[in-house]
Structure 1
Amino acid sequence: MKQQERIDKIIQAVETRVQDEVGALLGAEFILDSGARELVSKQEAFERLRGKQICAHLDITGDVSGKSCLLVSIKDAIRLGGTLIMLPDAELQEVIGREEYREEIEDSYGEIANIIAGSITKDFEEMYPKPCRFIRKEQEILVPAKVDIESDSPVLNQQLYLASCSMIIDGRQMGDMVLLLPAAAFGLEKEEKKPAAAETVKEEKVPQDKPAQAVAKEKPKESSDKNGPPPKTDPPKLDFEKHKKRIDRLLDECQKRLNSEISALLGVDIILDDLDNRIISKEDFFSDHAVGKQVLADMEVVGEFQDTCYFAVGLKDAIHLGGILIMLPPAELTTVVNEEDFTEDTTDAYGEVANIVSGVYTAVFEEQYTKKLRFVKKQLQLVVPLKVDTASDQPIPDKLYYSSKMSLTVEGKSLGNIHMLFPAALLQLDSQPVQEMPQQAETKKNDGEKIPNSPAAQSQPSPEKPAKKPAPVSAEAKDKLDKHRKRVDKLLLICGERMEAEVSALLGIDVKLSNQSNTVIGKEAFFSDFVSGKQVIANMDVVGELDGKSHLVVNLRDAIRIGGALIMLPTSELESVIADEEFSEDTQDAYGEIANIIAGVYTAVFEEQYTKRLRFIKTDLHQVVPMKVELEADEPFPNDEYYLSTMDLSMEENVLGKVNVIFPLELLQLEGLRATRETDEEEDVQDDADEVIPAGLSQGPGSDLSVVREPGAQAVSPDILLIGDDEAEAGKIAAVLSGMGYSVKSLSFKDNVHNYIPGQLKAVYLVMKDVNEQAFGAAIKVSSACSLPIIAAGPGWTRTKVIKAVKYGVLDILLTPAAKEDIEENVTNNLLKLAA
């Protein structure tokens, strides 16, 4: 496993632990959302920080030694410390506004920093190969711009590994918490830079529309290496769709960071949603997309490519944002917005918001894009779209742009849309205009017609794909394999149902195993991507007509909860041993009994119904830390591909982790899946692109539920809109609604809900895996656009969350996972009674 991946996994575990421990200390809901993970210089690290920071020095001791530090803005440190000493809200807001870091707040934040240092120590001791401890020392107030880069304070002037995460406390968005680690101490130093430079020259030669300024820089390098140009024809083989997906993922990350960064700057809840990325022309933008007067922020792009991007916001929205920053009273703010009074103070304030925006795009593109790009905010200009001359270079040149549009909500109030316009050539998205995309498949079928500027991209993939397809298996063999796999999947589903019944009977409580998913997975992917945190593996010998080993893998805390429930530990003691991850001998024995029951279930089903008689015998239990698993070793199981059957576990309505059962492919006579796996994955990608409806709604009775599909949206209008990210629960709700005669449309949180509201809708269900800000943002969008009943379905409701949901327009709550009877009752209460 690569060192950076190892460190990132550990930091992810640290964030989870800090979230739990600091939340428990404060008695508040404390959420950390992962951010940047990258190597930086000391100068780069402190250039990114804005405003005064509280720096907690951390000494690293043990087999790894060095100096680290934890940084949060002074306002966030005051909020955390003030929450701990329970300052009244009015007083807390006052001291935050004055940045008054007084002694008792400093002491209380120091306690939080101690907790964080302890959490870092625990996870590094558990998951890092070399023992090391993080000891919190003094704290100090820093002004980033005044940090002496050459000094040894607060950290040495060396390469650092920066890990950041945004903070939310009781639904209030805060800024980032930043941890700086000495890169060399953890084996994270950047490798050779020369190849990177060569690669830069190689890739930058490709774009035809790149400004002359950039081309001029490269010509001496090109002429000095005569063997270089022929192989440098490789970069044009850019798969347009794949590259566009990469860009869209970057822009999705930008949207998330903009939410947190602008919220932190303004001190209010800002939600940017409905991300919509598309290629448009200058004329399209000003005639169809820009509504009313616009404030355009010119953003000069420097780095490996040079160009200019444009950040466009409606004038009233720019005044609104600027007015909040300079703390205009609500009545005055409303007046200046209505009068479109963009005063000098408001302009300067909005300019600060635009600076934050440019900083976010810079951070994301420097971290994650193939080209290093920096976005520098220049001038602001006021534009009236109807007066724009398309043929001129003002206010923007006439060329193709990649538009990233987001809807803006401020303090629960829905405003307009904002747009970030990137020249398409800058993002290497100019090789295939958007209008040609629908014809691409037909073009390839007919005569392989090539699209300008990307001949290699169109001609190269076609010979490669046939090379993969003939080799694996014949169509007949594949059909036979698919049928056998379906039989195996049915058996595994039966096993899951029986496990649920048997374990519930043994424990005397309600245990649910849901959302079963079966897939082929390798050892590396399983331990590096699929599971995290300590795992308990129960090995099962398989004997009979086929021999092998199978493995039951459960998160350590879930294994403790299951074992503790069997030996009837008191609730308080059970929660304590789970928090301490104390897998005592008694708990191990009890969990071992559960593993025996599960082995018995698989034996019964496979002896009765499988083509080969197999018995599963539980042998031993052992704990595993995924980060420390050696891929080439035979422990905990050999480096091979396996058939993974995974289920979501819940006990007495507590949603827990996953129950994973791993089988060697040969044991289930599925070894043919090795040959077909790549082909199947390619087909899955195409299927995903074609299918609008979530997979959870496309099976069984749900296949007829989403009667309103994208191509024929005008034909039938849905009665009920399901919006969310919990496909399993949405499927259950949709099945019930369909049975009651309602037509249903399912959308994700990222889809544009305004295309369906209000229409002929009778109600909207928000169906979420977690009750969080994303869900509340969807509630705000719906309630601001119509007066339809909104029902929020999700797990883990607290009094605070319910109050917040009601505040944002939610009419009723449905606790998930929900039984059919609960859903029917909810529909009756909220639809039939309202209709009556």
Structure 2
Amino acid sequence: MAGYEKLQKMIQSALKQSAEESSMLLNQELTVKDTEVLEFDKEAYLADMEDSAFVVPVDSREDYPGRLHLVFSLRDAILMSGILLGIPPGRISEKRKLLILEADDIDAFSEIANQIIGTFNSVFQPLLANKFHLKQLPPTKFVPQVDEVTDELPVPAEEYLVYKAQIQLGGDDLNRFDILVPLSLAKCLDPQEAIRESQSEDSAIHDQAESLRRLFPSDADGNALSGTTNGVVKEGSVLVLEDDPDQREAVKGFLLANGYTILASNLGADMKDIFAMEEIQAVVLGMQKADEWELSLCSKIKEVSGNSHLPIIVCASQWTRTGIFKALKCGAKDIIMKPYEQNELLGKLGKFLAAA
């Protein structure tokens, strides 16, 4: 995402230095690749969390008040604490499998987290105009679908910049290390100029489209015929639902030209009749506003089809973070921006049909 370049460079520098110091602490090489930066609210961030997590809250004090969070995979935390404690590899594997986190593990990992926080203090302070200090607070574990979500746990309900770091320990990829910085704190650490009124709408839409493509990548080559044989889908059809007749015919045309069997209709069509006529393998759902009624069609399609895994690609000219979350919650499998780009849509359809 655009903006906060200074903050991203500071975090990246602190992470690389932390990796070097953690390598010495663990007696194993720990490396950090470049971080990806996304913007989430709490609800959307937790919706993206599938594995159990170990959450370390960190107070930012002095002239930059706020609270950020270090979020690790719980299994990674058990691994690193086990290495620091000298636990035999077989026992570490067992504890990771069963998600066993004991008091000694928490203390050991808190030492690792405290080392990371100390490095952030030493890297950030010389680059900031005023006093800056981070202090670790008691960590917690969070198991999705099991532990209760409250206003404050596992993280407070705020808008966050989420810095996703890819880390390796001993050459093996670890699962998760996210740094959640509240937007209010990010703006203090790296003040942004006001967005100029002259910024073109096309540029804003382009940035939004690029963000969506990073969140929902498709086949990089736009491989239209994945999941097909000799360019023809062997079983089932693709359903295109679009109220704009020109857009509907355009999508229908280029999908037909690439070997797909197509059913096309408007959003008000009788879904029961459609699914009674053909075996539908995927749905392209074009929307005008991405409002509650249009998004509710995802749930209706899943219900009528009787297939909870039916891939639905929803398309609209604009998306908000809330809209994206609602679309996913309603059952959308992927999200793209209008106007339809042939290679992008073909790549996503190919990916889903190949996995069917």
Please give the TM-score of this superposition, normalised by the length of structure 2: 0.60
Cα deviation code 1:524-581 (max 9, x no counterpart)? xxxxxxxxxxxxxxxxxxxxxxxxxxxxxxxxxxxxxxxxxxxxxxxxxxxxxxxxxx
1:304–1:372 Cα contact (<8 Å) kept:
no
Partners of 2:29 and 2:157 lie apart in 1 by: 36
1:41–1:157 Cα contact (<8 Å) kept:
yes
Counterpart of 2:30 in structure 1 is 30
| Deviation for aligned residue 1:147 | 5.3
Q: 1:199 to 1:137 in 2, by over 3 A?
A: same
Q: Tell whether 2:66 aligns with 1:123.
A: no
Cα deviation code 1:181-215 (max 9, x no counterpart)? 2321331799999x89x949x999xxxxxxxxxxx
Counting only pairs closer than 5 Å after superposition, residues 59-98 of structure 1 correspond to structure 2 as 59-98=59-98
1:69–1:154 Cα contact (<8 Å) kept:
no
2:227–2:351 Cα contact (<8 Å) kept:
no
Counting only pairs closer than 5 Å after superposition, residues 176-255 of structure 1 correspond to structure 2 as 176-187=176-187, 199=201, 250=213, 254=217
2:32–2:167 Cα contact (<8 Å) kept:
yes
Counterpart of 1:509 in structure 2 is none
| Deviation for aligned residue 1:62 | 1.6
- Which amino acid is 2:122 matched to? K
Counterpart of 1:114 in structure 2 is 114
Higher relative contact order (CA 8 A, sep 6+): 2
Partners of 2:63 and 2:17 lie apart in 1 by: 23
1:56–1:137 Cα contact (<8 Å) kept:
yes
Counting only pairs closer than 5 Å after superposition, residues 606-625 of structure 1 correspond to structure 2 as none
Partners of 2:226 and 2:70 lie apart in 1 by: 48
2:81–2:109 Cα contact (<8 Å) kept:
yes
Counterpart of 2:351 in structure 1 is 420
Cα deviation code 1:344-391 (max 9, x no counterpart)? xxx99xx7xx99xx9xxxxxx989xxx969874669xxxxxxxxxxxx
- Which amino acid is 2:25 matched to? L
| Deviation for aligned residue 1:13 | 0.7
Cα deviation code 1:68-119 (max 9, x no counterpart)? 2111121111111112223222211111010000122212111111111112
2:54–2:73 Cα contact (<8 Å) kept:
yes
1:165–1:177 Cα contact (<8 Å) kept:
yes
| Deviation for aligned residue 1:286 | 3.8
| Deviation for aligned residue 1:64 | 0.7
- Corresponding residue SS for 1:278: coil
1:277 to 216, 221, 227: 221
Counterpart of 2:143 in structure 1 is 143
Partners of 2:104 and 2:69 lie apart in 1 by: 22
- Corresponding residue SS for 1:20: helix
Counting only pairs closer than 5 Å after superposition, residues 478-517 of structure 1 correspond to structure 2 as none
Q: 1:144 to 1:283 in 2, by over 3 A?
A: closer
- Which amino acid is 2:66 matched to? G
Partners of 1:100 and 1:374 lie apart in 2 by: 34
- Which amino acid is 1:46 matched to? L
Q: 1:278 to 1:140 in 2, by over 3 A?
A: closer
| Aligned residues: CA RMSD | 5.0
- Which amino acid is 1:420 matched to? K
Counterpart of 1:577 in structure 2 is none
| Deviation for aligned residue 1:250 | 4.6
| Deviation for aligned residue 1:288 | 4.6
Please give the TM-score of this superposition, normalised by the length of structure 1: 0.28
Cα deviation code 1:320-350 (max 9, x no counterpart)? xxxxxxxxxxxxxxxxxxxxxxxxxxx99xx
Q: 1:27 to 1:302 in 2, by over 3 A?
A: farther
Partners of 1:117 and 1:302 lie apart in 2 by: 46
For the pair shown, the structure with the greater C-alpha radius of gyration is 1
Partners of 2:235 and 2:286 lie apart in 1 by: 30
Cα deviation code 1:595-623 (max 9, x no counterpart)? xxxxxxxxxxxxxxxxxxxxxxxxxxxxx
Cα deviation code 1:471-497 (max 9, x no counterpart)? xxxxxxxxxxxxxxxxxxxxxxxxxxx
| Deviation for aligned residue 1:128 | 2.7
- Corresponding residue SS for 2:222: strand
Partners of 1:132 and 1:304 lie apart in 2 by: 47
Q: 1:291 to 1:14 in 2, by over 3 A?
A: farther
Q: 1:144 to 1:121 in 2, by over 3 A?
A: farther
Identity of aligned residues (%): 14
2:64–2:132 Cα contact (<8 Å) kept:
yes
Unaligned runs of at least 5 residues, structure 2: 237-279, 296-306, 314-318, 334-340
Partners of 2:182 and 2:170 lie apart in 1 by: 33
Partners of 2:49 and 2:326 lie apart in 1 by: 16
Unaligned runs of at least 5 residues, structure 1: 205-234, 236-242, 256-274, 309-346, 359-364, 380-398, 406-417, 423-836
Q: 1:400 to 1:24 in 2, by over 3 A?
A: same
Partners of 1:97 and 1:284 lie apart in 2 by: 34
Q: Tell whether 2:14 aligns with 1:14.
A: yes
1:59–1:137 Cα contact (<8 Å) kept:
yes
2:4–2:192 Cα contact (<8 Å) kept:
no
Partners of 2:283 and 2:105 lie apart in 1 by: 40
- Corresponding residue SS for 1:277: coil
Q: 1:95 to 1:288 in 2, by over 3 A?
A: same
Cα deviation code 1:687-726 (max 9, x no counterpart)? xxxxxxxxxxxxxxxxxxxxxxxxxxxxxxxxxxxxxxxx
Counting only pairs closer than 5 Å after superposition, residues 370-519 of structure 1 correspond to structure 2 as 376=328, 402=344, 403-404=346-347, 419-420=350-351
2:44–2:325 Cα contact (<8 Å) kept:
no
Partners of 1:297 and 1:114 lie apart in 2 by: 50
Counterpart of 1:287 in structure 2 is 230
Partners of 1:300 and 1:276 lie apart in 2 by: 19
| Deviation for aligned residue 1:36 | 3.2
| Deviation for aligned residue 1:279 | 6.5
Q: 1:374 to 1:420 in 2, by over 3 A?
A: farther
Q: 1:372 to 1:157 in 2, by over 3 A?
A: closer
